[in-house]
A = this chain, B = another copy of it.
Amino acid sequence: MNIDTLIHARWIIPVAPDNRVLEDYSIAVQGGRILELLPTEEARDKYAPAHEHELTRHALIPGLINAHTHAGMSLLRGLADDLPLMTWLNDHIWPAEKRWVNEEFVADGTRLAIAEMIRGGTTCFNDMYFFPDVTARVASAAGMRAVVGLILIDFPSAWAGDADEYLHRGIRVHDDFRGNTLITTAFAPHAPYSVSDAPLERVRTLADELEIPIHMHVHETAHEVTEAEQRDGRRPLRRLGELGLLSSSLTAVHMTQLTEDEIGALAESGASVVHCPESNLKLASGFCPVTRLLAAGVNVALGTDGAASNNDLDMFSEMRTAALLAKGLSADPGSVPAATALRMATLNGAMALGIADQTGSLEAGKAADIVAVDLGGVETQPLYHPVSQLVYATGRDRVSDVWVAGRQLLNGRELTTLDREKILARTADWNHRIADVDELLEFS
């Protein structure tokens, strides 16, 4: 039978069903979708592929899903470090964004972010930033899967002047990309402290109508919760609940402050939590109680947050940090074992973003979002358990090949749809402009 692509691998870890490692298996791909997983010996007899890949030292895993990032912010990577969230935002990031963010900034920053993500085995990202139309266009052109956040915030930006305009422009992005198989959308109200009740109520209604998720920073720091209690008499999650936002449509990011009752309410609502351990550590924002959330049955996905607060978009590192940190905090080395970390970075992400029918695991019928990891180097030998190796010993630099919807975006670590040299040149240009102004500010 003639097919597009046949990939033979030493191991395949499909993530669903759980805890399965297939040895000497192959994936058959046709029309951008996974046709089947079968033993390599059978695959060679059965299929005549246009493209065939022999990955004898490699594990194939579902493409990683970065469930929370701000791709455009990659141009601000490392601009300010070792500061608390509100100082970092108020004194560094927001002024820089006010000065620099426009369509060109978002296009260049997003292209840089996608190059980094593809090279690191990420095949889908859940974004929240200004100019989501630009993000969608750049991702689609690169062949990258993305959930583009229709941002909403109480203060004006280069993208929109007020809530009406944010929503209006957001819905236009949703409509413009409706037919695109790689791009879906989510409403992305920034945070409880930066979006008022009225626009949040409209988001709830519109999200129900359009059947898209709501992606929001919630309970990122203790300060956020305390400040809301003082001003509003309620914790932010309770306010969101009373506004009707606590539902299976909600993808709540960070969630470092959670009572047992709140964990119960999250589980009951079917909302998802996106854990961003490295950003939370770096900004000293607090600890998301991942072990308790998972025990309560809450869907927990993983995100890097933006490169300005991480300072990378490395989902391998994020998996590892999530697995290690959960053990330390719960005093239980069995918490978040390797397979759970991998599931959080793949299928749980797809569930949080409402695209688990399309991606998140290597199963027949889903899109061929596939990552090959070379486990043959000195850094990953010997090898007793491939899943352990992927989470505890491998880095993103071992990702050799990446496919999204069957299209190969990384070939032997080379990007196929993005011009690396051009991205570096554009980034260098922004680097000089931003650094020069930043230096002026420091000495003013």
Binding site for B on A (CB under 8 A): 75-79, 81-85, 88, 112, 115-116, 119-120, 278, 280-284, 286-287, 307, 310-312, 314, 317, 320-321, 324-325, 327-328, 330-335, 337-338, 376, 378-379, 381-385, 388-389, 392-393, 395-397, 420, 423-424, 427-428, 430-431, 434-435, 438
Q: Are B278 and A324 in contact (CB under 8 A)?
A: yes
In the A-B complex, list the 6 residue pairs whose CB atoms are closest, starting with the nearest.
A382-B431, A397-B397, A281-B324, A281-B328, A311-B392, A284-B333
Question: In the assembled complex, which residues on chain B have CB atoms less than 8 Å from the CB atom of A320?
Answer: 317
Cα A314 to Cα B389 in complex, Å, equals 14
| A112-B381, A424-B378 known; A82 vs B334 contact (CB < 8 Å) | yes
Q: Out of B337, B382, B420, B434, which one reaches A428, CB within 8 Å? A: B382
Q: Are B334 and A381 in contact (CB under 8 A)?
A: no
Question: In the assembled complex, which residues on chain B have CB atoms less than 8 Å from the CB atom of A379?
Answer: 116, 119-120, 312, 314
A120 smallest CB distance to B (angstroms) = 8
Q: Out of B88, B338, B395, which one reaches A397, CB within 8 Å? A: B395
Q: Are A78 and B389 in contact (CB under 8 A)?
A: yes
Q: How many copies does the complex hold?
A: 2
Question: In the assembled complex, which residues on chain B have CB atoms less than 8 Å from the CB atom of A388?
Answer: 78, 81, 311
Q: Are A327 and B75 in contact (CB under 8 A)?
A: no
Cα A395 to Cα B312 in complex, Å, equals 10
| A83-B334, A327-B282, A383-B431 known; A312 vs B78 contact (CB < 8 Å) | no
The residue among A78, A278, A325, A431 with the most chain B CB atoms within 10 A of its own CB is: A78
Q: Out of B82, B310, B321, B338, which one reaches A337, CB within 8 Å? A: B82
Q: Out of B79, B385, B392, B423, which one reaches A378, CB within 8 Å? A: B423
